[in-house]
Amino acid sequence: MNFELNKSIEILERTPEVIEVLLSGLSQEWVRSNEGDHTWSPYDIVGHLIFGEKTDWILRIKTILSESDNKLFEPFDRFAQLKENQEKSIDELIIEFKEVRIENLNRLKSLNIKQEDLNRTGIHPEFGEVNLKQLISTWAVHDLGHIAQISRVMAKQYKSEVGPWINYLGILNK
């Protein structure tokens, strides 16, 4: 597939609801268990998605499209959610994620991005020049990666319960 803005938005606008259906009202054991030391629970992952909305994607898009000469992106703290108040419920996090995502997609649409804008560039703090098309593609793929991760983390909670089927269930061996 070649990049298209509208097809990227199709993914981005679905993610909060996918996560709501997956996690809302689910037992705490599914929501708060992880894959072991220094790994994330579904709860942590939703927190990470919220931080991305607040501090990463749309700000970087604006940096690329700005008239300023400073095209350097701010580094993104991928662990910020672990320092946050852990008392919020998963449903509170999901509502927050839905709100910030809708707001950011409205901002994205209001930027009125044209085909020629997709090749405009910014500077990533680690790997240098990237363009707008790559950034928006990554935003969508990042969503899908974390949906897959949430599914995997939940699946692993039953790793010792599936018995001999473990060899048929690739997700338990990732």
Q: What values do phi and psi take at 134, rounded to 5? A: -65, -40
Q: According to the binding rule CB under 8 A, does residue 163 interact with a second copy?
A: yes
Q: According to the binding rule CB under 8 A, does residue 5 interact with a second copy?
A: no
Nearest to 133 by CA among 40, 65, 69, 67: 65
User: Contact with a second copy (CB under 8 A): which of 72, 102, 111, 144?
Assistant: 144
- The nearer residue to a second copy, 106 or 157, going by C-beta atoms, is 157
Using CB under 8 A as the criterion, what x/- string covers residues 106-125 for binding a second copy?
Answer: ------------------x-
25-35 b/e with 16+ CB inside 10 Å = b?
eeeeebbebbb
Nearest to 103 by CA among 95, 92, 114: 95
Give alpha helix (H) positions in 26-77: 28-32, 42-55, 57-65
Site for a second copy in 14-33 (CB under 8 A): 14, 17-18, 21-22, 26-27, 29-30, 33
Cβ-contact 97, 147 below 8 angstroms? no
Q: According to the binding rule CB under 8 A, does residue 55 interact with a second copy?
A: no
Cβ-contact 15, 104 below 8 angstroms? no
Q: According to the binding rule CB under 8 A, does residue 68 interact with a second copy?
A: no
Cα Dmax for the chain: 60
Q: According to the binding rule CB under 8 A, does residue 3 interact with a second copy?
A: yes
- The nearer residue to a second copy, 82 or 158, going by C-beta atoms, is 158
Q: According to the binding rule CB under 8 A, does residue 171 interact with a second copy?
A: yes
Q: According to the binding rule CB under 8 A, does residue 36 interact with a second copy?
A: no
125: which 2 tokens?
């703090």
Binding interface with a second copy (CB under 8 A): 1-3, 7, 10-11, 14, 17-18, 21-22, 26-27, 29-30, 33, 124, 127-128, 130-131, 133-134, 137-138, 140-142, 144-145, 147-149, 151-152, 154-155, 157-158, 161-165, 167-172, 174
